[in-house]
Structure 1
Amino acid sequence: MKKGLLIAASMIALSLTSCNKKESGNKSIIKTDSSETVVKDTNGKIDSVSQSSSTLEVNGKKTEKTDYVYKAVDGTLVKVVFKNDPKESTVAITSNKKTFVLTKSETKGDETIYKKDDMTARVVGDSLHLEQGNNIIELKRTKI
């Protein structure tokens, strides 16, 4: 009888101490960053375009990388990364787990043209026009 009572009391004490939950939560779960990124355009106004940019400086040479999300007419989302470094400027277009990297060939006023083989990307403002052979795909930058 004493053993049974001692075992029952031990189990209750053990369950009460082991089930004590802390507010800090599980330490092995990665917390998400809840900070808000505000992007301002050239006029200093808050830009509502979904964008992420970073600048890296190595030996006084800056490399700037800007990511945008574009949307095709059919609703398909496309990730577009513009990269400017001292050697060359490129645009990487990712859709359906395929990435196409095109190098900057020329700039005409507010239009920038990127080319590789038979593929051409024309960037004008918030629009990106992809041309490959007879296929033309129009993309627009998404808004938040």
Structure 2
Amino acid sequence: MKKSLLTLGAVLALTVISCKKNESGNKSVIKTDSSETLVTDNNGKIDSITQGSSTVDVNGQKIVKTDFVYKATDGTLVKVVFKNDPKESTVAITSNKKTFTLPKTETKGDETIYKKDDMTARVKGDSLHLEQGNNIIELKRTKI
């Protein structure tokens, strides 16, 4: 009887210890802000394409930041922030706690190209084509 009670106690103790949840989560996934912002264009119409956007008026000049979450072909989530102000337009790409900011270099039809050093980002519709040296990463915009 004592052996079975000790065995039962040991099994219960192991069960409690092994069922602890890991609160840290996946470190490689970028957490997104769940707040929703309505963006209006100059005519006052609601823009339904953007996921998170803010407009700041500084000395009569509008600075627009638009946040998107893109997904790579391997499933990795990447945060992309487009910033448009009168001086320059940039894209900031954040993944694995690293941020790369690239200035806009040219626009060809419906494709926008951002470039800095050996890194190039080509944005066309819902896709972002990222090139760095011989590495090519294809990203698609998600609807989170």
Q: TM-score range by the shorter chain?
A: 0.5 to 0.7
Gaps of 5+ in 2: 1-33
Segment drifting more, 98-107 vs 55-64: 55-64
Query: What is the number of equivalent residue pairs in this alignment?
Result: 109
TM-score norm. by structure 2 comes to: 0.68
Please say if residues 115 and 121 of structure 1, whose CA atoms lie closer than 8 Å, have aligned partners that are also in contact: yes
User: What letter matches 2:104 in structure 1?
Assistant: K
Map of 1:54 onto structure 2: 54
Q: Deviations over 1:55-84 (max 9, x none)?
A: 001111110000000000000000000000
Q: AA paired with 1:77?
A: L
Spell out the pairing of 1:60-79 with structure 2 (5 A cutoff): 60-79=60-79
Match for residue 128 of structure 1?
Answer: 128
Would you say the 8 A contact 1:119–1:130 is kept in 2?
Answer: yes
Give 1:18's aligned residue: none
Q: Structure 1 residues 36 and 68 mapped into 2: Cα distance closer, same or farther (>3 Å)? A: closer
Residue aligned with 1:68, SS? strand
Q: Which residue number corresponds to residue 88 of structure 2?
A: 88
Partner of 2:115: 115
SS of 1:92's equivalent in the other structure is strand
- Paired AA for residue 62 in structure 1: K
CA distance in 2, matches of 1:105, 1:126: 19
Report what 2:97 is aligned to: 97
> Structure 1 residues 119, 90: closer, same or farther in 2, change over 3 A?
same
- Identical-pair percentage: 81
Residue deviations 1:82-134 (CA, integer Å, cap 9, x gap):
00011100000000000000000000000000000000000000000000111
CA contact (8 A) 1:78 1:93 kept: yes
Alpha-carbon distance between aligned partners in 1 of 2:113 and 2:52, rounded to the nearest angstrom: 22
TM-score (norm 1): 0.68
Query: Partner residue of 1:15?
Result: none
Distance 1:137 1:68 in 2: 17
Task: Mark the CA change 1:38 to 1:88 in structure 2 (over 3 Å): closer, same or farther.
Answer: closer
Instruction: Tell whether the 8 Å contact from 2:63 to 2:83 is kept in structure 1 after alignment.
Output: yes
